[in-house]
Amino acid sequence: MSYPPIHITFLGTGTSSGVPMIACDCVVCRSADPKDQRLRSSILVQSPETTLVVDTGPDFRCQMLRQSVKQLDAVLLTHSHKDHIAGLDEVRAYNFFQQKPMEVFATEATIDRVKMEFDYAFSEHRMVGVPSINLNYINEHIPFTTGDLRVDPIPVWHMRMPVLGFRFGRFTYITDANRIDKASKDKISGSEVLVLNALRHEPHISHFTLKEAIALADELEIPQVYFTHISHQMGLHQDIEASLPPGRNLAFDNLSIIL
């Protein structure tokens, strides 16, 4: 199967608190290295005909301004936690300039939460200026298309919470996971580039550690893996990066990949 070329930009690579974390004076949060400054995790995916983002966290407005994204065709949501949906209201700017609703793709459970969090956008008597959103239900077992992009949903586990990853041809994006079943590993297999969450070194109830993420990357035999959803507890970017094996790298905000 042939896929269109895609350009991936990491809009954010931080965990729910971002880096630096409010009120923290650790060496990472005080670092002047731009690679230690992480907005909440999200990516921009651009093909010849389609521009979409995966997740609209609290930093969504800043991320769109920073990348000067003038057109946005769709939003894909991995799950309903605040650090992945809180900025969804900001799509109203695209509603205004594009004169159409924003296409949002998510599972039924995530859509139910979106309707609760942004109830004013779905009320019968909507106020002027609220976001216009067209909700599209994802069946986690069925690929779908938006524009010229085929999207393969990949179910993973965030402790006991189902979360979606997404595969776009040779590129797969997984965030907020600590367990991946064999069927989903099979869907990831063959990717040239995998993005995988790695929160910190110490064990966590719902995220992979760096060691666990490296082991999974090796198990799946993915040639290039970038780690994201990183906390300030991970350590300085330059120190961790220097310790990683070949083909295993920390992602950082504004990192760009072309496939």
pLDDT digits (tens, 9 = 90+) for 91-118: 999 999 999 999 999 999 999 999 999 9
What would the pLDDT profile of 33-56 be if each residue is shown by its tens digit? 999 999 999 999 999 999 999 999
| 8-state DSSP, 161 | E
CATH number, domain containing residue 204 = 3.60.15.10
Is the distance from CB of 39 to CB of 64 less than 8 angstroms? no
Whole-number mean pLDDT of the chain?
97
CA separation, residue 187 to residues 79, 173, 192, 194, 236 (Å)? 19, 12, 13, 12, 33
**Residue 65: burial class (beta carbons within 10 Å; 0-12, 13-18, 19+):** exposed
Within a domain: 2: no
- Give the range of the structural domain holding residue 187, as residue numbers without chain letter: 7-258
pLDDT at 1: 63
Within a domain: 161: yes
- State if pTM tops 0.75: yes
- Max distance between CA atoms of the chain, in angstroms, equals 56
Within a domain: 1: no
Tally of domains in the chain: 1
Within a domain: 129: yes
